[in-house]
Structure 1
């Protein structure tokens, strides 16, 4: 019991120190929401470089579906968001981030896809899938699209992170739908097919209620993102 009490006390003291730093203006925190594809890209290069360049700025990055991102930014629950334009961003100010294309990946020796370069979701609903863990924005998006076709995905395993998905697919555990950028990183071990459904190509935009009303720290992050 004494051990747990000391642990709680240490946590409280650490939180108090963090709060004091923010109150004194020594540190600042920016709240950023992004969908799965954007989160994957952000964590690769952009955010690490930003954090190194700005040691007094902290970032709360959370992965959400695009429609939730739009709502959170509009309500002020997040400073910045990166979301697909289909989610209804017209009430927010926007700047282009990148075009996200979803592709189907399979092991190079996956017999079903021999000779194919494109495919639709309806053609692969009977396949076994490797999926992202429950709660991932991309997985929820794909599941909704399958439901609209009157089907569902047979997910053999759910794993955290796109790199893990690609690794299992390359070993023949199933197929998956991932952002093209993720498939490209594992191109040597995967077969990639363009997904022909309209929803598979998405313009992702950086959004805010008003960019000119952001805190100085959030403005710095916005500039780094676009």
Structure 2
């Protein structure tokens, strides 16, 4: 029984997209060609690989088994190509990273930009997901490297520390709350907030804690990034909750107040996670080593 690598890659892309149409687009195939390839593979194997439903497709148990093997096979091929590429100029490698909001917005841009400048033959696919979705992506082989908060279940993954992440409340200049050294999340839930537009991993994280407290966050406005959020807060619109690094920038440039949240979940360690370090493609392994050895700035909150 022979397996076409294009078919295996297509199955992975279909599973990741949740539809044959989405998988075909990512594989740069027509829908008709992608459908025919999957049907042909199912006929060859004598078993259905995907269950079709109105919203798309989901893998069958046989499909999940095939996807696991396909990921290993394609990963080994990518690793071989990457290692041989050490001797061939111009060979491109692609590293897939799934990250939560804070790491993606505050820590990764500078680090990844510097890495790419030093490695012109490498491309990086970066997408934002909740920490639980990042873990799932790494476990299923849809991402080479994940960046998550250490409060999430990480069984089955290898992890290394990356950065410390402290969530703080930003207030308009002169706001009464700004005089406090810290505040509990539940104590600010009666206030109105500026938040992030969805899908945002941090917004989902905060909304989850608010629901558990029985007092949902009330948003007056949602914006795309932390800097825009802080500008709206500085204008007096409402409060915001952002990482300390973003709050420091806003405090320096806009004069917003910075009040650390006292809740244990507001101080988190971000970690890098992989399924198996030694099985990573060479470019992903090199990037992982770079990210974990880059010194982290000390995290000393200030409310002045």
1:141 aligns with 2:205: yes
Structure 2 Cα separation of the partners of residues 73 and 85 of structure 1: 15
| Larger radius of gyration between Structure 1 and Structure 2 | 2
| Cross-structure match for 2:161 | 96
Distance of aligned partners of 1:223 and 1:203 in 2 relative to their CA distance in 1, 3 Å threshold: same
| Cross-structure match for 2:286 | 220
- Please show how residues 65-144 of structure 1 align to structure 2 within 5 Å: 65-111=130-176, 113-144=177-208
Compute the displacement of 1:134 (Å). 1.4
| Cross-structure match for 1:152 | 216
* Local SS of the residue matching 1:87: coil
Provide the alpha-carbon RMSD of the alignment: 2.0
* Local SS of the residue matching 1:73: helix
Number of residue pairs the alignment of both structures matches: 207
TM-score, normalization: structure 2? Answer: 0.65
| 1:60-102 deviations in Å (ceiling 9; x for gaps) | 1011111111111011110000101111113200010011110
- For the 8 Å contact 2:170–2:242, the answer to whether it is kept is yes
TM-score, normalization: structure 1? Answer: 0.86
Structure 2 Cα separation of the partners of residues 224 and 178 of structure 1: 26
Structure 2 Cα separation of the partners of residues 35 and 141 of structure 1: 10
Structure 2 Cα separation of the partners of residues 41 and 173 of structure 1: 23
Structure 2 Cα separation of the partners of residues 204 and 146 of structure 1: 22
- Please show how residues 203-218 of structure 1 align to structure 2 within 5 Å: 203-218=269-284
- Please show how residues 8-47 of structure 1 align to structure 2 within 5 Å: 26-47=91-112
Structure 1 Cα separation of the partners of residues 119 and 196 of structure 2: 32
Structure 2 Cα separation of the partners of residues 115 and 49 of structure 1: 38
Compute the displacement of 1:42 (Å). 3.4
Which runs of no fewer than 5 residues in structure 1 stay unpaired?
A: 1-11, 17-21
Structure 1 Cα separation of the partners of residues 247 and 222 of structure 2: 17
Structure 2 Cα separation of the partners of residues 221 and 207 of structure 1: 12
Structure 2 Cα separation of the partners of residues 101 and 122 of structure 1: 17
Compute the displacement of 1:201 (Å). 0.9
* Local SS of the residue matching 2:120: coil
Distance of aligned partners of 1:211 and 1:114 in 2 relative to their CA distance in 1, 3 Å threshold: closer
| Cross-structure match for 1:180 | 244
Higher strand proportion (structure 1 or 2): 1
Residue 201 (structure 1) aligned to one of 263, 267, 272: 267
Larger RCO (CA under 8 A, 6+ residues apart):
1
Compute the displacement of 1:166 (Å). 1.1
